[in-house]
Amino acid sequence: MSPNNAPSSNVVKGSPSKELFISMLTRDISLIDAISDLVDNCVDGAIKLKGRGKFTGLEVNITLKEDCFIIKDNCSGIDKDLARDNAFRFGRPSEATQIDYSVGQFGIGMKRALFKMGKKFEIRSVSEKASFSIEIDVNKWSKREDDWDFKFKELIEEKFPLGERGTEIIVSSLNPDVSERFKQKNFLSELRTKLELQHLINVSRGLVIKINGYPIESTQLKLLNSNKFKTAYWGKRFKMYGNTYVRIYAGIGEEHLDKGGWYIFCNNRLIQGPEQSIISGWGARTPVRIPKYHGQFSRFRGFVFFESKAPSFLPWNTSKTSVDADSPIFQNVRSEMVRLMRPIINFLNKVHDESAAYLSRILEEKYLQEEIDSATLKDYLHVRTSGSFIAPTPKGLVKKTNEVAIKYIRTEDRVEKLKNFFKVSSPKKVGEKTFDYTYDRECKK
Amino acid sequence: MTIPMTESVKNNIPSYERIDYTLRPAKAIERKMLCEAFRRLLNFSDLTEYRYVGFSSVFFSDFSLIHKSLGLTDMISIEKEVKDKGRFMFNRPYKCIRLRFGYSYDVLPAISWAKKIILWLDYDYKLSESMFTDIGTFISRAQTGSVILLTVDVTPDNLPDKEGEKSRYEQLTERISKAKIPIDVEEKDLDRENYPRVCYNIINNELEEVLAIRNGGLEDKLKLNYKQLFNFIYKDGSSPMLTIGGVIYSNSDKDKIAKCNFKRLDFIKSEKDKFDPYRINVPKLTFREMRHLDKTLPSSKGEKLRFLSKEMIDDYSKIYRFFPNFVEAEIH
């Protein structure tokens, strides 16, 4: 290196490069999660406007086309000071003001989502005291090496009525792979399914989310309820972690392999679920042993809600796709989850054993299964709860002391003939009749 | 993923024991039309270089026709009813037909895809998740010039008439996951009139998605395109059936596909009219009526029969070349 153009000082460069944000960080998030992140911003607007009340009248419209992406809401808009100081900054300064119970707190989500999708962005926002627009051309911006700032294209400072407020973000010059995905109808269906799960609580609070004009549905978290079943409930406020309030509901629901497991929410946003791995306790060894998730447990449902005014205390990662499993608060809650799971696992094992015993004719009736069948599915907020899961206990083996079960296999055509002969309708009856027939003739004294 | 059992499997009665396949005129007509279209693949390569893969059932109708009229000798029939193996072997009309027992989603990944393939997934049940596996296998493996056909039962699900009964939408989501259902589909789209189109869209969306994934790994001249050729709707018994399909070809084979000139055949449904199904309606005519009409065809300006409706005559004139020759006699 020639000494002429080498920096004379002994400063080692530590500033980030724009390339890191444009093409590296975007790899940490999937396209669908990037879109979810933008929806989170809208939800924060809704929270700012309505607090913890109903979101009635608020709407998020997402439009995906081959050549552009638009997300538009009629929530509170981005405040101009927030825009100037924080919203477009990379990372959020620690003194930045927070919306209570918000979901977008890392100061990375929106930028990362936009960089992920395309090369040109346009943001228009109308808030209570000002409206502004910003246009960003990533190619031009990335060439200005040490200037990270964006500039308002237009700024009007006046009062805007509620009905006019909102934010619209348009991404054009889509990256080719993104444009290819947006063309796929299945991508839209997949996005819908994901948003329906992630935002189910916000949708049930009245927020309307539309994809290309079609509203997503509100999915309910349902548990079995009857006078014999009680869902396990546990709640605790963690004073040392920003007063985070945690609630756990654990019980049984619909039998569905793909839907069984834990659902973990942070400030009403689903972070992970159905979670079927060690993260949520499947295969855990402490405090009690739990088997790995499999078909026998497909009725298991657990819902965990972390809520905090200060979202930085919540145990989630920056892409909001996973819990921060190492955080002390999650570790603590996880041990409660595992504890609450065990009685449910025990019960589901008994249901399984009962079914096996019934099939091999050791049991005459499926008592537990009948109790499950006669219970009804209800939203988790309206089920009977208790400190631990309560379920009917099996009546015990109905097997009478001197009786044994016989099981054997014969070809269908021959069994059919015997059914006709004995005028009975089931193979089981054929077995009984043939046994009695032989016994009466050959063994009876 | 759990693969749902098909209805026929649940009932334990294979469809060939429920329906006499030889008495299905619409299906016979469709088969002949497909064969005529396959003939145009000559521009891709000699037809004898193709392999035909299908579900023959015990009647082997498609296999016989394709072997006799196109000369294909590499043929594989997939059959799930292993217990009737002997019966299938007995009914196999030609030695060149090889039988593979098992479910298509198990058999297809195991066969060789080195040749161009004509694959007819002639399901006799409703759209279900396991079909996506078969579409996926074809789209991710097949060579340029290969043809895929898929037939499904498009009878709408039961209309819930009592409270607490599952909506048609719910019944659909029990067979396929919601992430495969287009976002614009509502309960009202699942009626007799619109349900076939919903099935059509679901199948096509899947084809497109898998194709895009495969193309992601191919250089430009090898990138594959899907050209729809078929969109038939017909009904022999009580169930309406939908057959859709087409050919996949690489960018470098664009000229070849143009030379095939599929458009010359009036039952081909590609480009602009691809969404509008070609309906095979079989008019119930006597042999004498048909022979009479034959004399006035192909130009239909000739003498009409005053006791036949115009609709019957039009239906017949569309399909007369493909009409099956049923003979009601046992020849000794």
Q: Could you read off the pLDDT of A186-229 as tens digits, one per residue?
A: 999 999 999 999 999 999 999 999 999 999 988 889 999 999 99
Q: Under an 8 A CB cutoff, do A185 and B181 touch?
A: no
A140-149 as b/e, with b when 16 or more CB fall inside 10 Å?
ebbeeeeeee
Higher per-residue pLDDT: A360 or A265: A265
Give per-residue pLDDT as tens, B291-307: 888 888 887 565 577 88
pLDDT-derived band at B236 (thresholds 50, 70, 90) equals confident
Task: Please give the order of strands across the beta sheet that includes B117-126.
Answer: B97-101, B74-79, B51-54, B117-126, B147-153, B240-250, B224-235, B278-280
Torsion of CA A319, A320, A325, A330, to 10 degrees: 150
Structure tokens at A86: 């924080």
pLDDT for B246: 97
Pairing status of strand A130-137 against strand A214-215: unpaired
Q: What is the pLDDT of residue B114?
A: 94
Please, which residues have CB within 8 angstroms of residue B212's CB and are 6 or more apart in sequence? A180, A181, A183, A184
Q: What is the pLDDT of residue A154?
A: 83
Chain A contact probe: residue of B183, B201, B209, B210 with most A CBs at under 10 A = B183
Q: How confident is the model at residue A65 (pLDDT cuts 50, 70, 90)?
A: very high
Residue B5 has what pLDDT?
41
Chain B 198-237, CB below 8 Å of chain A: which residues?
201, 205-206, 208-209, 212, 216
What is the pLDDT averaged over residues B158-182? 89
Closest by Cα among B183, B186, B182 to B194? B186
pLDDT over threshold 70, residue B165:
yes
Q: What tokens were used for A140?
A: 């031009």
pLDDT band at B186 (very low <50, low <70, confident <90, very high): very high
Q: How far apart are CA B37 and CA B52, in angstroms?
A: 14
Rounded alpha-carbon distances, angstroms, from residue B11 to A426, B24, B138, B237 = 16, 22, 28, 18
Tell whether B187 lies on the interface with A, counting CB pairs under 8 A.
no
Give the per-residue pLDDT at A298: 94
Residue A175 has pLDDT above 80, yes or no: yes
What residues in B contact A193, CB-CB < 8 Å?
Answer: 177-179
Buried b (16+ CB within 10 A) or exposed e, A170-204: bbbebbeebbbbbebbbbbbbbbbbbbbbbbbbbb
How far is A370 from A374, CA to CA, in rounded Å? 6
d(CA A274, CA A257): 10
> How far B208 CA lies from chain A's nearest CA (Å)?
7
pLDDT tens per residue, range B3-34: 444 443 444 566 666 655 557 889 999 999 99
Question: How high is the pLDDT of residue B1?
Answer: 34
Contact list in A for residue B181 (CB cut-off 8 A) is 189
Domain with CATH 3.30.230 in chain A: 222-386
Q: Measured between alpha carbons, how far is B88 from B99 in angstroms, rounded to an integer?
A: 8
Please answer yes or no on whether A186 and B2 come within 8 Å at the CB atom. Answer: no
Cis peptide before A215 (omega within 30 of 0): no
Write down the pLDDT at residue B82: 84
Do B205 and A185 count as a contact with CB atoms less than 8 A apart? yes
Contacts of A211 in chain B (CB under 8 A): 183
CB–CB of B175/B130 below 8 Å? no
With an 8 Å Cβ cutoff, is B166 touching chain A?
Answer: no
Instruction: Identify whether the C-beta of residue B132 lies closer than 8 Å to the C-beta of residue B180.
Output: yes
Contacts with B271 (C-beta within 8 Å, 6 or more apart), sequence order: none
Chain A residues with CB under 8 Å of B212 CB are 180-181, 183-184
B2 in contact with A, Cβ within 8 Å: yes
Single pTM value for the model:
0.80
B180 and A CB contact within 8 Å? yes
pLDDT given for residue A220 in this prediction = 83
Q: Nearest-5° angle of CA A27, CA A77, CA A219?
A: 65
SS (H, E, C) chain B: CCCCCCHHHHHCCCHHHCCCHHHCHHHHHHHHHHHHHHHHHHHCCCHHHCEEEECCCCCCHHHHHHHHHHCCCEEEEEECCHHHHHHHHHHCCCCCEEEEECCHHHHHHHCCCCCCEEEEEEEEEECCHHHHHHHHHHHHHCCCCCEEEEEEECCCCCCCCCCCCCCHHHHHHHHCCHHHCCCCCCHHHHCCCCHHHHHHHHHHHHHHHHHHHHHCCCCHHHCEEEEEEEEEEEECCCCEEEEEEEEEEEHHHHHHHHHHCHHHCCCCCCHHHCCCCEEECCCCCCHHHHHHHHHHCCCCCCCCCCCCCHHHHHHHHHHHHHCCCCCCCCCC
How is residue A203 written in tokens? 């949708």
What pLDDT score was predicted for residue B2? Answer: 37
Task: Say if residues A301 and A252 touch (Cβ distance below 8 Å).
Answer: yes
Range(s) for CATH 3.30.565.10 in chain A?
18-215
Virtual torsion, Cα A345, A346, A348, A350, nearest 10 deg: 160
- How far, in Å, CA of A437 to CA of A161, rounded? 89
Q: How many CB atoms lie within 10 A of CB A292?
A: 11
List of residues 6+ apart from B166 with CB closer than 8 A: B160, B174
The reply to whether residue A185 touches residue B178, judged by beta carbons under 8 angstroms, is no
Of the listed ranges A130-139, A379-388, B4-13, the least confidently predicted one is: B4-13
B212 contacts A189? CB cut-off 8 A: no
Task: Note the pLDDT of residue A309.
Answer: 87
Dihedrals phi, psi of B124, to nearest 5 degrees: -110, 20
How many beta-carbon pairs under 8 angstroms link A with B? 46
Q: Indicate the CATH number for domain B7-280.
A: 3.40.50.150
CATH of domain A222-386: 3.30.230
Contacts of B1 in chain A (CB under 8 A): 258
Query: What residue type is A28 in one-letter code?
Result: D
**Would the CB atoms of A212 and B183 count as touching at under 8 Å?**
yes
Q: What is the domain partition of chain B in residue ranges? A: 7-280, 287-322
In angstroms, what CA-CA distances link B90 with B59, B60, B78?
11, 11, 15
3-state SS string over chain A? Answer: CCCCCCCCCCCCCCCCCHHHHHHHHHHHCCHHHHHHHHHHHHHHHHHHHHCCCCCCCCEEEEEECCCEEEEEECCCCCCHHHHHHHHCCCCCCCCCCCCCCCCCCCCCHHHHHHHHHEEEEEEEEECCCEEEEEEEEHHHHHHCCCCCCCCEEEEEECCCCHHHCEEEEEEEEECHHHHHHHHCHHHHHHHHHHHHHHCHHHHHCCCEEEECCEECCCCCCEEEECCCCEEEEEEEEECCCCCEEEEEEEEECCCCCCCCEEEEEECCEEEEEEECCHHHCCCCCCCCCCCCCCHHHCCEEEEEEEECCCHHHCCECCCCCCECCCCHHHHHHHHHHHHHHHHHHHHHHHHHHHHHHHHCCCCCCCHHHHHHHHCEEEEHHHCCEECCCECCCCCCCCCCCCCCCCCCCCCHHHHHHHHHHHCCCCHHHHHHHHHHHHHHHHHCC
Interface check A180 vs B, CB under 8 A: yes
Per-residue pLDDT, B13:
66
Predicted confidence band of residue B122 (pLDDT cuts 50, 70, 90): very high
CB proximity list for A64: less than 8 A, separation 6 or greater: A182, A187, A188, A191, A211, A212
Question: Can you give the pLDDT at residue A273?
Answer: 83
Residue B287 reports pLDDT greater than 80: yes
Measure the CA–CA gap between B41 and A279, rounded to whole angstroms: 54
The fold of A18-215 is: Heat Shock Protein 90 (3.30.565)
Most confident of A78-87, A170-179, B305-314: A170-179
Which residue of chain A has the CA closest to B211? A184
Cα angle A389, A390, A391 (rounded to 5 degrees) comes to 120
**Band (B327; pLDDT cuts 50, 70, 90):** low
